[in-house]
Structure 1
């Protein structure tokens, strides 16, 4: 983990949100993607939701699924968001969670 300023943090999260939004918009998924401030909500065909949000004071990215919540910190050496509890990488956990919760298989 690296100490970063607020500007760097916001850029990293904004990049992640944009990547998620582009994936949902560009493919044939029945997943609604809504970004409102620092919160990105995914709503699936089965009406369940997943929320990804900024935790600015901690410089973290949080993921809430119907199976649990995860807190990610940026690791500069790996250039990845890593869960501070499980050690899982954000993108692989997000794909796994979306598949598990919605039945949609996708990749970022």
Structure 2
């Protein structure tokens, strides 16, 4: 459980920082990111809202995407990232792809190697 909290906290904190930087670069007043109580909310105006939250009982990070819907990510030591068991895709990969398409620019969040974040 201690490892889960260290890895998930580092992921959420880094994700928040990267998203804040991204929104600053965009200068879009309709977009905002907020993190409280283990829940990160990314509001993209007409493009919808992402909600990413820690789920300690399951040792997971849950994502609700306005594009791909809900997904539950487990930490996979072999790949050192958060992976969705149904399709094997990483949290970072999915978010970068969706945000790049939505915002019309390359988005690199750099949260793929989780142990490097903590």
TM-score by length of 1: 0.83
| Higher relative contact order, structure no. (Cα contacts within 8 Å, ≥ 6 residues apart) | 2
- Tell me the CA shift for residue 75 of structure 1: 0.7
* Cα contact 1:71–1:85 (8 A) shared by 2: no
Q: Could you say what secondary structure the match of 1:87 adopts?
A: coil
- Tell me the CA shift for residue 52 of structure 1: 0.4
Q: Is it true that 1:19 corresponds to 2:20 in the alignment?
A: no
- Tell me the CA shift for residue 47 of structure 1: 5.9
TM-score by length of 2: 0.76
Number of paired residues? 102
* Cα contact 2:47–2:66 (8 A) shared by 1: no
Q: Which residue of 2 aligns with 1:86?
A: 87
Q: Which residue of 1 aligns with 2:33?
A: 33
Instruction: Point out the structure with the larger helix share.
Output: 2
After superposition, residues 1-108 of structure 1 pair within 5 angstroms as 6-27=1-22, 28-29=25-26, 30=28, 31-46=31-46, 48-67=48-67, 68-100=69-101, 102-105=102-105, 106-108=107-109
Q: Could you say what secondary structure the match of 2:46 adopts?
A: coil
CA distance in 1, matches of 2:80, 2:108: 18
Stretches of structure 1 that go unaligned for 5 or more consecutive residues are 1-5
